Structure 1
């Protein structure tokens, strides 16, 4: 049996057992106090974020608001789309809009913005939908649309017909190997012709409008579509006051979802309108017109021209109000009136 060197003390069995017990005790104690404090703080921060999310969420959709936050007189919060939807539903049903929590009356006059909640929500963290990194909400959109390396983007040669779509980090490698820049001019002729046709169609409305500006008789009116109810079915419709144009009396009527029986049952809503001649012309009136956003308008309208030959007490076919953003429909229905400018051109041909 090997003997221990004389200079080295031999530990006793009791000392060995004590060191083993001490190491086991240290292992059972877990992380150091400093590390344990960091873990606890992170848990507290995460719990605070979740608690704030539950407190500051919209009372209707139960989601954190993306932009404006409204509150009833008792302080219950609603995001702008849900607030406008409640007011629009009440207008369609001819009822008073109420808070979904406390049933107190709400309106644009009785309810107010809550800027403190809006700023608090904008600072709460949220994961990027592409890379799952966490950013404050106010800077997340810029990151997702312009900075994130995982965002879906297209090839810089898309104008030459390349349909590649992929992560932004892979775009440079794809573009270096993309075959479309090396296509011959003959291969690109059909593609360029299609693009030219689309551009020509887009510019046609503007060209027609410029051409109509050379008409001898042009008039415009800033109008208000005000809500009314039919006597029998109590349906909502909108109508302007009578106005004069080209020595005749006119009126504009508007309907929701093409006069649908109960528009509140539909999540997709649109406003259609009709231009109606209320007087008796001696001869047919060939009139062109365009609805544009007036000085008090709340929604942007796409350029769209209409034309009709009016006879005695006749209405033009119903047309959709050309809203650029369909979400503006509820915002318009939630208001007291719909403001727009009607430009009319009398054709002498």
Structure 2
């Protein structure tokens, strides 16, 4: 059986066309709007990001803050990561290698890259207080003494004022601070705590001067040799040969990161010394 369609009238055709026109006017491709609304300095921002990615440390992937070292193939490492790589190799009793190309590195073979250091110092960085961008070589001075949003203390903090706030609010607070008008008895409590802290520091210095004031002082040139434990996790320690002091035999022993279960999996390094009487 054949089906028949009802002929469309001119009125229905015109209404469909009008609806399509309205729909086409209403819909706008999102891509075109995003392209038109791009900021003018987008390329500059991308260039800074690209430079940051090129000049960053190969280990921590962050821009170096001070010295920049490189291996013989030119891969960059910040001073902190370079020191950790040498310490880790020493901890494992192995040869230190570049994390990118595995070429051998040491204090004598690695060199500083002054051009990269100067380039990184000119890249902009954001202030942690006001969020404005400054060249890295002037950011520290800005955060310490110039930024109006940096955290500052009240000048009456020695007599107990706990106020901490932005630098631009310091003058207004000090004009209204109540601590200068406190009674002597109230201020004495704060000064006692302050004097107690100074007394503890004084005791430390006095003990050092007492040691230097002994009549008998022995000087020895001691050389520490590396050794390794035989456990499942090999730990590195150093021990000196026996030496004579104050009519007794002594040995100095130094442990590396003894507070860690596996020192090879930690980036922290600390050395504890023991003077053992034999």
TM range (shorter): 0.7 to 0.9
Q: Partner residue of 2:269?
A: 269
* Contact persistence 2:64–2:78 (CA under 8 A): yes
Match of 2:97 in 1: 98
After TM superposition, the structure 1 = structure 2 runs for residues 314-333 of structure 1, keeping only pairs within 5 Å, are none
Q: Which residue of 1 aligns with 2:48?
A: 49
- Displacement, 1:226? 3.8
Q: Is 1:142 aligned to residue 141 of structure 2?
A: yes
CA displacement, residues 92-143 of structure 1 (integer Å, 9 cap, x when unaligned)? 2222222111111122122111111111111111111111222110110111
Tell whether the 8 Å contact from 1:235 to 1:261 is kept in structure 2 after alignment: no
Name 2:246's counterpart in structure 1. 246
Query: Which secondary structure does the structure 2 equivalent of 1:166 belong to?
Result: strand
Task: Give the secondary structure class of the aligned counterpart of 1:219.
Answer: coil
How far, CA to CA, are the matches of 1:112 and 1:214 in structure 2?
44
* Deviation of the 1:235 alpha carbon: 2.4
State the structure with bigger RCO (CA 8 A, min sep 6), 1 or 2. 1
Higher helix share: 2
Q: Distance in 2 between matches of 1:192 and 1:126?
A: 41
Question: Is the alpha carbon distance of 1:219 and 1:53 closer, same or farther for their aligned partners in structure 2, counting shifts above 3 Å?
Answer: same
Question: Residues of 2 paired with 1:241 and 1:235: CA distance?
Answer: 19
- Find out whether 1:160 has 2:159 as its counterpart: yes
Q: For residues 273 and 58 of structure 1, what CA distance do their matches in structure 2 show?
A: 33
Deviations 1:289-330 (A, max 9, x none): xxxxxxxxxxxxxxxxxxxxxxxx2xxxxxxxxxxxxxxxxx
Contact kept in structure 2, 1:145 and 1:151, CA below 8 Å: yes
Distance 2:260 2:63 in 1: 32
Q: How far is the alpha carbon of 1:223 from its aligned partner?
A: 4.0
Q: Secondary structure at the match of 1:118?
A: helix
Which structure 2 residues correspond to residues 115-264 of structure 1 after superposition, within 5 A?
A: 115-221=114-220, 223-231=222-230, 234-258=234-258, 260-264=260-264
User: C-alpha distance in 2, partners of 1:209/1:86?
Assistant: 35
Q: Is the 8 A contact 1:126 1:140 kept in 2?
A: yes
Aligned to 2:77: 78
How far apart are the structure 2 equivalents of 1:63 and 1:154? 31
Q: Size of the alignment, in residue pairs? A: 239
Aligned-residue offset at 1:87:
1.6
Consecutive unaligned residues of structure 2, counting only runs of 5 or more, are 1-38
Query: In structure 2, how many angstroms separate the alpha carbons of the residues matched to 1:116 and 1:240?
Result: 43
Q: Provide closer, same or farther for how the CA distance between residues 178 and 222 of structure 1 changes in structure 2, counting only shifts above 3 A.
A: farther
- Distance in 1 separating the partners of 2:180 and 2:223: 53
> Which of the pair is proportionally richer in strand?
1
